Amino acid sequence: MPRTRSLAWSELKLGVLTIVAVVIAATTIFMVTGGQGFFWQRYSLKTRFATVPGLKSGSPVRLAGVEVGTVSSVLPVDELAEVTFEVNTRWRDRITTRSVARLGSVSLLGEAAVDITPSTSGTPIPEGGYVPQGRTAAQLSDITDQAGQGIQELTSLIQDVRGGRGTVGKLITDEQLYVELHRFVTSAGDLTEGLKSGRGTLGKLLNDPAGANALETSLKNIESLTRQLNAGEGSLGKLLKDDAFANSLSSTTSNIDQVVARLNEGEGTAGKLLNDPALYNRLNSLSERLDQVLTRLDNGEGTAGQLLKDRQLYDNMNKVLTDASALLAEITKNPKRYLNVKVSIF
């Protein structure tokens, strides 16, 4: 009997030690795996990337920067790389259709990770579903390539400058361009000094208060004129503001247009004069005949021409008229002397 109890106690101690060891192992595994939990507490998700440098099985999966799972496999599918990973089920409501997966990095040595942006506004992705792919952040290799490209471009730029290509290259290598630029800078300095000393119109405007006051007065006058025009004062202001004046002017313009239209159509004497060749020809012929008559008169042709040009004929006609006037006056004074009427009856 004592022997049996001793064996039972030994077995009990062995069982207790086994249980303690299992608990310690489970605790260690849980602590190592972090928030991933045990295998029955995880579910599988997938995503696809165009390239996955540095990503492999066992790489971490992070949710908002917190490690919540690990990568199970990375396999090429079609032209993409399909990544399968496991995440603790406690984060299921934060990995939804609004979340995106990006390829991140763990360190500068090239080790990669899957970064997922949390989102509670979408629908949780089921077991084996795909997390939408987001824009991949720039990797160290990309930065290195860009830096190398930038260095190449900078080297090419320096070579162009040394070769005298471009404005900067010509400025550095072309002595004549440097001289002209130096002359321009000197001229600009002289101009600035002249303005400061008040030379020229612009210099006086900058330094002479009288010129500035005159300009200010002119601006005030212009402002006053503009204000009067806006108020409808004066003929121009009425033209801008008074509808009746504008309508009257428009009516006058319309009447002028009608008169011009009637003239163009040949209505009236002026219209016929502008458009009727026969009337124009008659007037032209009349003017020519009148010119001929005036020419003959000026040349002394005919009675009227001789009367204008012959002094003797003018004197004779003047004498005849004088004598006739004297005779009429004498007859009026003594009619019996000149008028003797005899009446006889048979």
Residue ranges per structural domain of the chain: 37-138, 154-207, 286-316
Beta carbons within 8 Å of 346's beta carbon, 6+ residues apart: none
Token digits of residue 236? 């121009």
CA-closest candidate to residue 83, choices 115, 38, 105? 115
- Contact of 300 with 306, CB cutoff 8 Å: yes
Which H or E run contains 124? none
What value, to the nearest 5°, has the Cα angle with vertex 298 and ends 292 and 303?
A: 90
The strand pair at 60-63 and 66-77 is best described as antiparallel
Residue 285 to residue 292: CA distance in whole angstroms: 11
Closest Cα to residue 83, out of 100, 99, 71, 95? 71
CB neighbours (10 Å) of residue 12?
10
CA distance 250 to 257: 10
The structure tokens listed for 173 are: 């290598």
Local mean pLDDT, 10-residue blocks, the chain (346 residues): 53 70 64 54 88 87 90 90 91 89 77 89 90 70 69 79 71 73 82 75 72 78 83 74 72 82 77 72 79 78 72 77 81 71 55
Q: What are phi and psi of 69, to 5 degrees?
A: -175, -175
Q: Which strands sit side by side in the sheet containing 80-88, from one edge to the other?
A: 42-49, 80-88, 66-77, 60-63, 112-116, 101-105
Res 1: pLDDT: 45
Distance CA 5, CA 197 (A): 121
The CA-atom distances, in angstroms, between 299 and each of 289, 291, 310, 311, 313 are 15, 12, 11, 14, 15
Residues 320, 153: Cα–Cα separation, whole Å: 123
pLDDT for 257 equals 82
Name, in order, each residue with C-beta under 8 angstroms of 309's C-beta and a sequence gap of 6 or more: 299, 300
CA distances, 146 to each of 53, 150, 239, 273, 275 (Å): 17, 6, 68, 88, 84
Give Cβ neighbours of residue 92 (< 8 Å, ≥ 6 apart). 43, 124
Structure tokens at 345: 């009856």
3-class SS of residue 122: coil
Distance CA 122, CA 104 (A): 23
Alpha-carbon span 273 to 329, nearest angstrom: 54
> Are residues 97 and 125 in contact, defined by beta-carbon separation less than 8 angstroms?
yes
CA 63 to mean position of chain CA atoms: 47
